[in-house]
Structure 1
Amino acid sequence: MIVESLDIPEVKRILPRVHGDSRGFFLETFNAREFAAAGLPTEWVQDNHSRSGRGVLRGLHYQLHEPQGKLVRVARGRVFDVAVDIRRSSPTFGCWTGALLTDEGQEMLYIPPGFAHGFLVLSDEADFLYKCTTLWDRASDRSIRWNDPAIGVAWPLEGPDGPLTPLLSPRDMESPLLADAEVFA
């Protein structure tokens, strides 16, 4: 596998080896030895799977007291995936980085604890899979507004058939701005 840093160095793009032929393909999505050698976590306690339609935007989510590292990938479809550094002591506090994740490319992202995470579905439907380093904790669950101008995420809202209007949960519509959110020290 190939591991690359994105604009914020702690966020990693992982390109697994894909073995394909006329029958389909095979790939390892996790190998403890290779992850450890690349400095990535090897202990995962929860796997999640979400299915969403075109224009669904989920995020920007994080857990304040039980922060999660996430290994994310797309099993079907295309999404634009985003990580926002919300560690106040970090030189990249309030900055974001993102990547296109597709079932064709089989790319994965590692988003460490201390980051808010979100994604926008660009295909008709997408199956989004992610592993977490800690269990989900309702009391610790937080979010930041997806379109906070102070962060300035450049969501690709221009689709092949015209502008995409993000489909948001009520919670995501009402999330606080970064300036008003509880964040990490």
Structure 2
Amino acid sequence: MDREIMAAIRSWETTEERQIRLIEERARAPPVQETPQQREIRLWKKRARTAQARANETPEQREERLWKKRAKQALARAQESPEQREIRLWKKRARQAAARARESVEERAARRLEQRVRTAAARANETPEQREIRLRKKRARTAAARANETPEQREIRLRKKRARTAAARARETGESSRSGLHLETWLHH
């Protein structure tokens, strides 16, 4: 009987009420000692539920979820100490490095293309003030990096820069000579 009443009450719950109830139940429950296999199964099930929920959400629900996520992140970042920020960024860089080490050449090319498209879209929509702020921040980051680099790092940076310049010049020369060749061919016909 009690189970039927509880089921009826829970059927009237909103999503938020259900989430609050589950959080409270988890807080009251004694800590469970799980094996690594149990943990992996639990996390796999959680990822599957999340993927299912994301697949079924409407564009409005997705936008609301992402907005809430961004708001939570902004709040957490506003309250974090410099040490916490450094740890968070270090973990992020480590995760990115691990993910990039696993990706294939095609995945890397696709990721970089997406990145360039996003950047181009953001730059196209920015105001002159936003552009100035972005460039000022970029100059400050560059100056800080240059001030902290070792002579070896400086040499590597300059060597890479010279190689890029040489490659660009070679492409220009190749294109101009090819276009000149086409012009000569066109003139002789």
Q: Give the TM-score normalised by the residue count of structure 2.
A: 0.20
Q: Counting helix residues as a fraction of each chain, which structure ranks higher? A: 2
Higher strand share: 1
Q: Which has the larger radius of gyration?
A: 2
